[in-house]
């Protein structure tokens, strides 16, 4: 029988839908993307993902132990913020998941790890822990569009750091760039960057309310 995770007051560290199992290491982020689900609610799939504090590695592993079920055939470290802001907990989670399952583990990131941890080999640490695949959110074909759409705390240098991190991940992980399909964003140009870098590419669906697209488009074209 499946064991249910205790729903913590400060939010859920794990959540699921169908056969997919997700890890929520943090609700902090270095971006404030106009299209992000954070703009429209406090979680997804009926789970509250806003955390009062980031979990320690032990706390995140314990949450995985309480909620894991062998039925899951899709495992992702995604969460409500930028997972790599809580890197040590993410590494502990990957190692524990590798003990629980042979299902490949993926991680979604905004790709600015080089700016967050300038002295650490984040790609190498993720690979050593057992991560199989990393999806890096490109979301724009150029620095100016990225600045307007994603509003990164690191400013204009954020876009270039994404490309640099992609190059570092290529030798050790399966890499996929992604972009949300939003009017005003040149998806084909984003795909071209992925092709130039020699990595995969995925188009993501906008998950906010339909009316929000008009405001995003105005921001991009003005």
First to last CA, the chain: 55
Q: What CA–CA distance (Å, rounded) separates 201 from 128?
A: 24
DSSP string, 27-86: S--S---TT-GGGT-SEETTEE---SSPPPHHHHHHHHHHH--TT--EEEE--SS-GGGG
The domain segmentation of the chain, as residue ranges, is: 14-221
What pLDDT does 206 receive? 81
Q: What is the CATH number of domain 14-221?
A: 3.20.20.70
Q: Could you give the strand order of the β-sheet that contains 105-109, starting from the edge strand earlier in sequence? A: 14-17, 20-23, 74-77, 105-109, 133-137, 174-180, 200-204
Of 48, 165, 150, nearest to 118 by C-alpha is 165
The pLDDT score that the predictor gives to residue 222 is: 66
Q: Considering just the CA atoms, what is the radius of gyration of the chain in Å? A: 17
pLDDT of residue 213: 72
Under 8 Å CB-to-CB from 33, ≥6 apart: which residues?
39, 139, 149, 150, 151
Instruction: Give CA–CA dist 116/154, Å, rounded.
Output: 9
**Helix locations, the chain, DSSP H:** 57-67, 87-100, 113-116, 122-129, 143-150, 157-169, 187-197, 212-221
The pLDDT tens digits for 91-142 are 999 999 999 999 999 999 999 999 999 999 999 999 999 999 999 999 999 9
According to the model, what pLDDT value does residue 135 have?
A: 98
Contact 107, 131 (CB under 8 A): yes
- In the predicted model, residues of the chain with pLDDT beneath 70 are 1-9, 211, 222
222 secondary structure, DSSP code = -
């Amino acid at each position: 029988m499946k064991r249910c995770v205790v729903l913590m007051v400060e939010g859920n560290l794990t959540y699921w839908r169908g056969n997919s199992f997700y890890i929520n290491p943090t609700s902090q982020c270095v971006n404030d993307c106009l299209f992000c689900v954070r703009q429209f609610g406090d979680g997804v799939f009926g789970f509250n993902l806003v955390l009062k504090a980031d979990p320690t590695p032990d706390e995140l592993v314990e949450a995985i132990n309480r909620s894991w079920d062998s039925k899951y055939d899709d495992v992702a470290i995604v969460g409500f913020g930028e997972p790599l802001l809580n890197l040590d907990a993410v590494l502990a989670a990957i190692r524990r998941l590798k003990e629980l399952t042979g299902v490949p583990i993926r991680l979604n990131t905004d790709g600015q790890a080089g700016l967050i941890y300038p002295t650490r080999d984040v790609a190498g640490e993720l690979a050593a822990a057992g991560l199989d695949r990393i999806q890096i959110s490109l979301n724009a074909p150029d620095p100016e569009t990225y600045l307007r759409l994603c509003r990164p705390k690191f400013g204009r240098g954020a876009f270039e750091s994404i490309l640099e991190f992609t190059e570092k991940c290529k030798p050790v992980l399966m890499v996929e760039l992604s972009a949300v399909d939003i009017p005003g964003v040149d998806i084909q140009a984003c795909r071209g960057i992925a092709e130039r870098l020699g990595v995969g590419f995925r188009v993501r669906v906008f998950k906010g309310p339909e009316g929000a697209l008009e405001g995003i488009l105005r921001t991009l074209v003005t």
